[in-house]
Amino acid sequence: MIVFDRVTFGYNAKPILNELSFQVDPGEKIAILGGSGEGKTTILKLIVGLIRPDSGRILIEGEDITHKTEEELNDVRRKFSIVFQAGALFDSLTVKENVAFCLREYTKMTEDEIDAKVRELLRLVDLEPAIHLMPAELSGGMHRRVAIARSLAVHKPIMMLYDEATAGLDPVNSDNICNLIVELSSFGMGHMMVTHKVVDALKVADRFLFLEGGTVVFDGGADELLASSHPHIRTFVDELRYQPKVSGKR
């Protein structure tokens, strides 16, 4: 469904992605791992056409999106739902207006219908009581969940894209978000989560890409990831098995 064909990208001559190639099928549950600044967010932005590759092609359902205009890209963007790092809620609008944003933009629903739809979406992410709050009053985890509800408002996407959906959250909230992501995928949507937290990646995905130096250095399942001998992947994975050095008698 998503094909990256030798994609190269850089900001002002600073290379980020280098001849990156991979392929994702519909319905896949995939996690892209990699250190900060390796270009994980950049990949998601390329998929929805917010930025264009310097060279190479990106195919979405067989269509080359590399040279599409902003208007043509709107059709591509409808196939995805992207939840940005930290949520990206419009901070001048209430939770309700955030979730209702696309409903107001694209449908002719009455006020009552909008209210009902917004409540339904917020129930899905377990946040109905927060409907009248402003984004600034929400915790990090609530922020992400409202963002997820908002991104589901108008259309059913084929694939959800999550940018660091659990970054900066405590383990309980991270776990909540992971459960929500898994729950949503039971509706038949695939998802791609970009993260540097292996624990959370293992919870939501069954295929893993490891990004380093602008290319994919690992592509495989959980067992292979855990058994990988690549030094950086080891560092990521060893976090899971960390044993505190206990001083004194045991």
Partner 1 sequence: MQIRPLISSLQDFYLLSYHGFLGIFRRPFYWKDTLEQMDYAGAGSFFIMALVSLFVGMALSLQLAAELAVLGLKMYIGKVVGITIIREVGPVVAALVFTGRVGAGMASEIGSMMIGNQVDSLRVFGVDPIKKLVTPRLVASLVMLPALTIMGDAISLIGAWYIAAFVSNQSSYVYWSTVRGVLDFQNVFSGAVKPFMFGYLIASISCYMGFTTRGGSTGLRTSTTNAVVMSIIMIIISDFVLTRILLYVLGYKT
Ligand X SMILES: Nc1ncnc2c1ncn2[C@@H]1O[C@H](COP(=O)(O)OP(=O)(O)O)[C@@H](O)[C@H]1O
Q: Is the CB of 80 or the CB of 210 nearer to partner 1?
A: 80
- Strands 14-24, 2-11: parallel, antiparallel or unpaired by DSSP? antiparallel
The residues in 31-50 that bind Mg ion, with binding defined as CB under 5 A, are 41
Among 1, 3, 59, 86, binds partner 1 (CB under 8 A): 86
* Whole-number Å distance between alpha carbons of 53 and 153: 29
Stretch that binds partner 1, among 52-60, 97-105, 165-173, 211-219 (CB under 8 A): 97-105
Binding part of the chain for ligand X, among 29-37, 52-60, 135-143, 169-177 by CB under 6 A, reads 29-37
Pick from 214, 209, 166, 175: nearest CA to 30: 209
Interface characters, 38-67, with ligand X (x: CB under 6 A): xxxxx-------------------------
Question: Which residue among 25, 91, 113, 239 contacts partner 1 (CB under 8 A)?
Answer: 91
Our CB check for partner 1 shows the closer of 82 and 204 to be: 82
Q: Determine if 134 is a binding residue for partner 1 (CB under 8 A).
A: no
Distance CA 178, CA 164 (A): 11
Which stretches of the chain bind partner 1, using CB under 8 A? 45, 48, 50, 70, 74, 77-78, 80, 82, 84-86, 88-91, 101-102, 105-106
Which stretches of the chain bind ligand X, using CB under 6 A? 11, 16, 34, 36-42
